[in-house]
Structure 1
């Protein structure tokens, strides 16, 4: 079973920066690019904070107000939160579950789209991945150039997760380049014979 990532990461940041305000939890996770690699939506962070607070995993440290600014609530981890967080991290570390790649279905349905459109889509995909890879590699270098202290910059292990994302992107990029070459050379041709007849049955 997949670990609830947003829940685990929110607890991690509270534990690391406590006492910490919700805005700083959100900002920290965005600096880790968690919205990209973990699909942590910025708005979901506040919802997760409310949930783990209601469950007794974090506690309110202080509610204060600075001038005309809205009240700021800071949180601290509870003993129960430490236990639950430890269980979540342990489960995530030992997980070998592979993500369900959304492009698999598109590959299976190549024959249902015109060849020219598949070629154009692959070329666009390659350009996107080339840009993504360049960005990720620059981010890895930027994080490693920082102090690595959580109170000052992203921890250095964030560079490792960004490197993993870069490696996945590189693999996807190479697959896309190879597949495009195979289609353009005629080695991969799934358009000569339709895979289905008009009646929806496989050809004899």
Structure 2
């Protein structure tokens, strides 16, 4: 899944209209360059590509500058929500997809996010069980596997950590933390909601 695609669509969506420099500044404010594989030149390419795909519309700003303003289309909104739901429900080994989704999860209803996160827990548990079995098998033949068996232990630990963190987020959502789309139609991540999230 492309975290860049999700983030670009999400930033344009929350601002209603956004130019490339605004998208870049927004993601810089999130330190996205540190946790996502974003190259700033690729943001402009992504904006143009998604315009060609009908996910965004582009219009000259009309103020004498070279600036191009982008808005999200209905197809872009569908793609944004698809990417967001997928990133919440399906764990990946790269953290950028989940990190991007955490920037926008309040755009969905609370019950839906909880259900997506429960799917994530189930997937992580399944993955953990597979890696735990591989770890046990490796321990039975140390002369063949050697120190490579440490990888299986790392993967089991990472899955356990992911499960614990996801369950804690589910708990926070169930007790009412964060303003979600069904609490307020202008919750952060919804169209036109701007930059600030609310608790």
TM-score, normalised relative to structure 1: 0.46
TM-score, normalised relative to structure 2: 0.47
